[in-house]
Amino acid sequence: MYELVQITEHSYYINCPAKIGLYLANGSEAYLIDSGSDKDAGRKVRQILDKNNWHLKAIFNTHSNADHIGGNQYLQRQTGCKIYGPAIEYSFTNHPILEPSFLYGGFPPQDLRHKFLLAQESTAELLTESVLPKGMEIIPLPGHFFNMAGYRTPDHIIYLADCLSSKETLEKYQIGFLYDAAAYLDTLEMVKTLQADLFVPAHAEAAKSVAALAQYNIDKVHEIADHILSLCEEPQTFEEILKKLFDAYKLTLNFEQYVLVGSTVRSYLAWLKDTGRLKPVFQDNWLRWQRQG
């Protein structure tokens, strides 16, 4: 774990639970794509940088989930590096309490204020093309989170952040986290058309082609949507839908899964409503969801 993998002369990734990209410019200037989950991850990244006599110039965050920005604070304090994130995402990075608050829908209880959902604060600025090394490009990847972005390096390596889950992950957890289902599907369709020498997703194996995996993720979204619709032949509350999904997929409910999967299910409900497949029904001060047509 935390093994440095060289792809080309300039592009690398650090193999860890949420892969960290690394681009090397001008011989010793290092740019990270994300920073890992916590201070310990940041420390291990720093050891890799020091071992190779590389100077960390900046961290380009793909998005603001805690497992991608958790090493920011340590690395920024140790090296003075700049940190950049896409619009909205960089605000969450500056104020990480926003993530568990958003997921819970209010002030999060202590059960949700831990490093997996609440990173340490770091000082981030808005990501623009002008702050990137020459030849690096931003690839918008909305859907999983607000304004997630991937990066293409000048040597044709693409870092895809969280827009793809491995088959193993989806088979284990079934309901992958997403914020905007429609945007996510559009992103996956776009990813299927991308060309690169190698793709590096954060939560799947690096590969020369990801079109088949992107389609697998697309199919899983439609499977979950169809399952929700089948549950709503008769009006169902959100809590009833959530329980029945957990039962059907043999998942175990706890506080963390309640907010992660719960937020995702609410996003599905919004998408299905906006596309005319579900309707909200208010009965006796209950909000229930019913299939249309």
For residues 25 and 49, the answer to whether their CB atoms sit within 8 Å is no
What does pTM read for this prediction? Answer: 0.97
CATH of domain 232-291: 1.10.10
The pLDDT tens digits for 210-229 are 999 999 999 999 999 999 99
**pLDDT tens series, the chain, 293 aa:** 899 999 999 999 999 999 999 999 999 999 999 999 999 999 999 999 999 999 999 999 999 999 999 999 999 999 999 999 999 999 999 999 999 999 999 999 999 999 999 999 999 999 999 999 999 999 999 999 999 999 999 999 999 999 999 999 999 999 999 999 999 999 999 999 999 999 999 999 999 999 999 999 999 999 999 999 999 999 999 999 999 999 999 999 999 999 999 999 999 999 999 999 999 999 999 999 999 97
Sign of torsion over alpha carbons 25, 29, 31, 36:
positive
pLDDT of residue 179: 98
The pLDDT tens digits for 259-277 are 999 999 999 999 999 999 9
Tokens representing 120? 């340490």
Q: Where are the domains of the chain?
A: 3-160, 232-291
- CATH architecture for the domain at 3-160: 4-Layer Sandwich (3.60)
